[in-house]
A = this chain, B = another copy of it.
């Protein structure tokens, strides 16, 4: 069987390519009977439009760019995974990119996506307000951009995330209720969510009359989850031990840190949860196998992916002035799973 395209269909049905195209695109200016005849023939011969030709003509693709800090983080991995399943249903193809939390790489990725003529972009920015101007240009003039997870960003668009301060509040509160008062908060560099999470942590302390101590907010300034953050963290906790300020509970503010801290504490011969209770933000289904099983605040990745596409696809398909729109923020609810690391 030869190549099956609009021209060959037209020839077979004694129609012009234009008419066939109209039938295929559900145009109104075509006779119902003709349309059905074309559709039937196309279906029978399993016709698939050539996406490249289509794009060359229309300037539009079915590509969705996905820009995330890294895949080697359970949360982002799960999110992308869900996105894949859904995008396929809608006949969109995903083009995922990693930024390693670096603005230059993010810019490269965005440039690349533009050249690929993506129809839309889903992004969790490298950090708060990274590439703001570029993203704004893209969103206004080029294709819709939607933010997820790291939604503390000036770009005016739909934002999908969780209520970071509330979730951190709940986690901190849980530790307080278990009788812990020297609670440390572990955070990475400023990726936008950090501020809110610290706020939730502080609020919980304040609500229960526990004085906030600056030294209990511990930064680990990594760019990449594969980096050696362990020794850095170990130093910090050694110092706290030495000055007799060792916390008896820790809230892990990022996916990566929540996992790594367990090894650090073990190295310092601190027992979890007896000496130090730990709860962390993370989506890994490995939490059960960690040492010990880790209590986690789990983001609803499936729901986030669904909502993201539900918002993006209409933006792609309806032509409109995105600059003037009013966008909503969506804060979904996370699930807290209490495991051994907080089982006091």
Residues of A within 8 A of B (CB): 48, 50-53, 55-56, 61, 71-72, 77-78, 80-81, 84, 93, 95-98, 115-117, 226, 259-260, 262-263, 284-286, 288-293
Q: List 10 A-B contacts (CB under 8 A).
A: A48-B115, A71-B77, A71-B81, A72-B77, A84-B98, A259-B286, A263-B288, A284-B286, A289-B290, A291-B292
Q: Is the CB of A116 within 8 A of B96?
A: no
Q: Is the CB of A285 within 8 A of B98?
A: no
Contacts of A72 in B (CB 8 A): 77-78, 81, 285
Given known A-B contacts A53-B56, A56-B56, A116-B51, A290 and B291 have beta carbons under 8 A apart: yes
Choose from B50, B96, B262 the contact partner of A289 (Cβ within 8 Å). Answer: B262
Contacts of A226 in B (CB 8 A): 285
Contacts of A284 in B (CB 8 A): 286
Question: Complex formed: what's the CA distance from A259 to B71 in Å?
Answer: 19
Question: Complex formed: what's the CA distance from A284 to B72 in Å?
Answer: 10
Question: Complex formed: what's the CA distance from A189 to B262 in Å?
Answer: 33
Contacts of A117 in B (CB 8 A): 52
Contacts of A84 in B (CB 8 A): 97-98
Nearest chain B CB to A164 CB, angstrom units: 24
Q: Is the CB of A56 within 8 A of B52?
A: yes
Question: Complex formed: what's the CA distance from A78 to B98 in Å?
Answer: 13
What is the chain B residue whose CB lies nearest that of A290? B289
Question: Complex formed: what's the CA distance from A52 to B84 in Å?
Answer: 23
Nearest chain B CB to A157 CB, angstrom units: 25
- Those 5 A-B pairs whose CB atoms lie nearest each other, nearest first: A291-B291, A52-B52, A52-B55, A263-B289, A52-B56
Nearest chain B CB to A67 CB, angstrom units: 13
What is the chain B residue whose CB lies nearest that of A115? B48
Contacts of A286 in B (CB 8 A): 259, 284, 286, 290
What is the chain B residue whose CB lies nearest that of A50? B56
Question: Complex formed: what's the CA distance from A285 to B226 in Å?
Answer: 8
Question: Complex formed: what's the CA distance from A81 to B97 in Å?
Answer: 10
Contacts of A93 in B (CB 8 A): 95, 116
Contacts of A115 in B (CB 8 A): 48, 51
Question: Complex formed: what's the CA distance from A260 to B226 in Å?
Answer: 22
What is the chain B residue whose CB lies nearest that of A88? B112
Nearest chain B CB to A114 CB, angstrom units: 9
Nearest chain B CB to A260 CB, angstrom units: 7
What is the chain B residue whose CB lies nearest that of A264? B289
Question: Complex formed: what's the CA distance from A284 to B286 in Å?
Answer: 11
Among A48, A260, A286, A289, chain B packs the most CB atoms within 10 A around the CB of A289
Among A93, A96, A288, chain B packs the most CB atoms within 10 A around the CB of A288
Nearest chain B CB to A137 CB, angstrom units: 13
Contacts of A48 in B (CB 8 A): 115
Contacts of A260 in B (CB 8 A): 289
Question: Complex formed: what's the CA distance from A284 to B61 in Å?
Answer: 36
Contacts of A56 in B (CB 8 A): 50, 52-53, 56
